[in-house]
Amino acid sequence: MLSLVIVLAIALAVYLGYKTNINTGFFCFVFAYLIGCFWMGLKPKDLIAFWPTSTMFVILAVSLFYNVAAANGTLEKISRSLLYACRNFPGILPYALFAVAVILSVMGAAYFTVLAFLAPITLMICEEANMDKLTGAIAINCGALAGGDFPTAALGVIFRGLMGTAYQGAPDLTPIDDFTATLTMFGLAIISSLIIITFFRFAFKSNRNIGKGVAFEKPEAYNKVQRKTLALILIMMAVVLVFPILKLLAPSVKIFSVIAGKIDVGLVAIIFAVIALLMKLAPQKEIIAKIPWNTILMIAGAGMLIAVAVKAGTITMLSNWIGSNVPTWLIPMALSIVAAIMSFFSSTTGVVCPALFPLIPALAAATSLNPAVLFTCTVLGAQSSAISPFSSGGSLILGSCGNEEERNALFNRLLFVAVPVSVGLSAVYNLIVSLVM
């Protein structure tokens, strides 16, 4: 009975968030308090201890640093420079847009930031280059999501934190290396995205004359502040990545393991944020204002409610049910489709992954499936429906349309073409990946 109530509370929180346009995390806080303290008898201080401190700190720290690049125009300059570099290959324009979005995301730009920068530019380029606008929208959406899955990128650090939280609910199981898992996820996301983009690139007749007549304007050179910001981004990426990679390449060298164990992307990001502020690369007030508080509160609320579910045994019950009722070889596809349906109306990082990730450790142990593959299938499934016009990504793209008629036409194509095709291709891809790996 208790587990059923918790599952209904999670579903109700998502529904209320969607219908009222109030942060889903707020409803999760309420249900976590009412169920945890008044039904399960938890002490308030024990409930508050469920706050996902580590995940919240990483999101705060990383966004604080990369907001410097967003505030002083470095990210926008990077995108325009990369697009200009592809001017001689108009036929591969969708892949160029994808590459730009991936690079911006890998360099730390948030998903919403990448789409906010690229959506207006992309729709304008589609107009000039005789390219189907849905193809352009798919390209930048896939790029922003796939690049964000990189271990040190905006989404990657969240997924790493959620993986760690998932294993905290299963203390008898050995945690996986979250860095390696998200690096694998990143690689598989790139391949999945290229498959989806290729389908849309060649499926529409409107793309036959793609690139003819487009004129790329040469962007202005980086100014002094932007050059310094770009240098800091590259140095930070090197600091965060070098020793974990050396540890993977030479696991027997103890010094690499020791230093890699001391490297934390959140703490490193704070150091570089302070350096950027001391160098006066962006106003402190502006970079603090750009912190994604909405996402932080959503993840925190969902994390607390899921922690209550773990405490009540709901997660173990659901894992056992899936493991015993769904054929083992279909579990990755089932997770992919369930995640896609949930993500259609709610946040991947704030609702879907906090709800589904805790199922995976016990499920993987019970079925002998690779937990890293299950985490990946869940994320790729959730991201496959992120182009929905009801999601933040789809709405950002629609908001960049020039007129109401164009917006309505793209709305229908996002809903009835992009989402079904992306979800279907992703589900099949995830099934194949699970069979291979």
**How many whole angstroms from its chain centre is CA 206?**
30
Rounded Cα distance, 412 and 420, in Å: 12
Tally Cβ neighbours within 10 Å of residue 230: 17
Q: What is the pLDDT of residue 270?
A: 92
Rounded Cα distance, 51 and 297, in Å: 10
Rounded Cα distance, 316 and 309, in Å: 9
Rounded Cα distance, 427 and 429, in Å: 5
2's enclosing H/E stretch is helix 2-20
**In tens digits, what is the pLDDT along the chain, a chain of 437 residues?**
788 888 899 889 878 887 887 888 899 999 999 999 999 999 999 999 888 787 778 778 877 887 888 888 887 787 677 667 777 777 788 898 899 889 888 877 778 777 767 777 787 777 767 788 899 999 999 999 999 999 888 789 889 988 988 888 778 888 898 888 999 999 999 999 999 999 998 887 777 777 666 666 788 888 999 999 989 988 987 887 788 778 767 778 888 888 877 887 788 889 999 999 999 999 999 999 888 787 778 778 887 887 888 788 776 676 567 667 788 888 899 889 888 887 775 678 877 888 888 889 988 888 888 999 999 999 999 999 888 776 667 766 776 675 667 777 887 888 889 989 999 999 999 999 988 88
> Biggest alpha carbon distance in the chain?
68
The answer to whether 388 and 397 are in contact (CB under 8 A) is no
The answer to whether 23 and 298 are in contact (CB under 8 A) is yes
Between the alpha carbon of residue 383 and those of residues 13, 74, 130, 342, 375, the distances in Å are 20, 27, 27, 10, 12
Tally Cβ neighbours within 10 Å of residue 238: 10
Q: What is the pLDDT of residue 410?
A: 82
Please give the structure tokens belonging to residue 368: 């002998």
Where does residue 403 rank: exposed (0-12), middle (13-18), buried (19+ CB within 10 A)? exposed
Q: What is the pLDDT of residue 26?
A: 92
Say which residue the tokens 């004129």 belong to: 215
Rounded Cα distance, 146 and 142, in Å: 6
Please give the structure tokens belonging to residue 304: 């607390």
Nearest Cα to Cα of residue 24 among 294, 328, 257, 424:
294
The three-class DSSP label of residue 75 is: helix
Between the alpha carbon of residue 398 and those of residues 55, 132, 316, 385, the distances in Å are 31, 14, 40, 15
Say which residue the tokens 């027997």 belong to: 252
Give the CB-side neighbour count of residue 155, counting CA atoms within 13 A: 32
Q: What is the pLDDT of residue 320?
A: 65
Nearest Cα to Cα of residue 191 among 436, 373, 437, 433:
433
Whole-structure pTM over 0.85, yes or no? no
Nearest Cα to Cα of residue 165 among 304, 352, 318:
304
Q: What is the pLDDT of residue 383?
A: 92
Phi/psi zone of residue 157: left (φ > 0), alpha (ψ -120 to 50 degrees), beta?
A: alpha
For 306-374, the three-class secondary structure string (H helix, E strand, C coil) is: HHHHHHHCHHHHHHHHHHHHCCHHHHHHHHHHHHHHHHHHCCHHHHHHHHHHHHHHHHHHHHCCCHHHH
